[in-house]
Amino acid sequence: MKQLWLAAPGRIDLREVPLPSPGNGELLLKIKASLTCGTDLKAYLRGHNLIPMPGPFGHEFSGVVAKAGKGVKKFREGDEVMAVHTAPCLKCPYCKKGLYNLCMNIMDSKVLGAFGQYILLPRRIVLLNTFKKPKTLSFEEAAFLEPLSCVVHGMGRLDLNGPAPGGKDETALIFGAGPIGLLHLLLLRARGVRVAVCALESSRLKLSKQLGAEVFFKPEQAREGLSRFAPLGADYVIECTGRKEVWESAPEYARRGGKIMLFGGLKKGSPVVFSSDRIHYDELALMASFHFCPEDVKKAYRLLAGRKLDVSPLISGKYRLQEAEKAFKKLSLGKGIKYVIKDQK
Ligand SMILES: [Zn+2]
Ligand SMILES: [Zn+2]
């Protein structure tokens, strides 16, 4: 079978690799659609500690069961399915506490290689994090299950359903209008929260407006833009740029008692500096979000399957496997949000 490998930063090879055969509890999927993600772009540009190089990559996908291993009860050949690329062990101390996203063994089950013709899903993923795709959902939309699960997890941490001083008039300011910023926008709008978006690229700001942002502005207008939108500061400030200076300034945009979600990861070991005054006297909550729990994946599945969110405007184009490098070149220039990579057009 054909599979894309990240050979070195900036170099993608199309390789011929052996077709795996599903063991006990495993599923072999024929991939119908996979999506590029910010993590893949980072790995393509400078390497990534969770994506070994040289090696296969791509982790957002949907497909059709090509072969089910012994003991698989939920699925059979020909089923259209959507899945994520990890599942917790359910046995480690963190799993025992219900902190499944922090499972000590979560990366053992991880599968990479969605940019290819087939992918083998291990037993744990088949049991916990694989679902039948409704016919009404396209394979491309179904491949959003993984990134949406990450965002659903972060939103759960923000606890939008908790006591909300702003009531229906809750406001959020999102920094960054890449795939993760825009998925936050879709989810917040679905909850009725008013959203402002701050981003660098005009085309992405326009898209945020189309997706329901009430106001949008470039970073140099952030203060003025926010003061008109939420004079006290936003109830939620959501950092989706992965830039140190944005992490450091994010608390300045929250209202007293506001919550700041630091979603975009920084380079390993990056120190960040916040002024303690606002965090202390204004009781700001700084929080971060990593990965997702099976419960988040279920919620994300229900949102997609029930068509509660329309993720299709986030798809900027489609490329065949052998053309995938074009998609990454575009992304590295800030062009487009997510690209579909598939074996056949
Ligand atoms: Zn991803
Ligand atoms: Zn565990």
How does strand 215-217 pair with strand 194-198?
parallel
pLDDT, tens digit, 9 for 90 and up, residues 170-199: 999 999 999 999 999 999 999 889 999 999
Please report the pLDDT score of residue 166 as a whole number: 45
pLDDT, tens digit, 9 for 90 and up, residues 250-284: 999 999 999 999 999 998 899 999 999 999 999 99
Counting ligands in written order, the one closest to the CA of 150 is 1
Q: Ligand 2: distance of its center to the CA of 94 in Å?
A: 6
Number of Cβ within a 10 Å radius of residue 157: 16
Residue 107: helix, strand or coil by DSSP?
helix
The full set of domain ranges for the chain reads: 2-144+311-342, 153-288
Both tokens of residue 91?
A: 């046995």
Please report the pLDDT score of residue 165 as a whole number: 46
Counting ligands in written order, the one closest to the CA of 98 is 2
- In one-letter notation, the amino acid at residue 64 is V
Both tokens of residue 196?
A: 């402002």
String of DSSP letters for 126-139: HHHSEEEPPTTS-H
Q: Ligand 2: distance of its center to the CA of 88 in Å?
A: 5
Q: Ligand 1: distance of its center to the CA of 59 in Å?
A: 6
CATH code, residues 2-144+311-342? 3.90.180.10
| Residue whose structure tokens are 């299709």 | 312
Counting ligands in written order, the one closest to the CA of 84 is 1
Alpha carbons 140 and 136: distance in angstroms, whole number: 12
Q: Ligand 2: distance of its center to the CA of 123 in Å?
A: 15
Please report the pLDDT score of residue 262 as a whole number: 98
State the CATH class of domain 153-288.
alpha beta
Residue 2: helix, strand or coil by DSSP?
strand
> Which of 314, 313, 322, 318 shows the shortest CA–CA distance to 338?
314
Counting ligands in written order, the one closest to the CA of 107 is 2
Counting ligands in written order, the one closest to the CA of 128 is 2
Q: Ligand 2: distance of its center to the CA of 154 in Å?
A: 19
Cα angle, residue 323 at apex, residues 317 and 328 outer, rounded to 5° = 65
Counting ligands in written order, the one closest to the CA of 100 is 2
List, for the chain, all residue ranges whose pLDDT scores fall below the cut of 50. Answer: 163-166
Alpha-helical segments (H) within 159-293:
179-190, 202-210, 222-229, 244-249, 276-281
Q: Ligand 1: distance of its center to the CA of 35 in Å?
A: 8
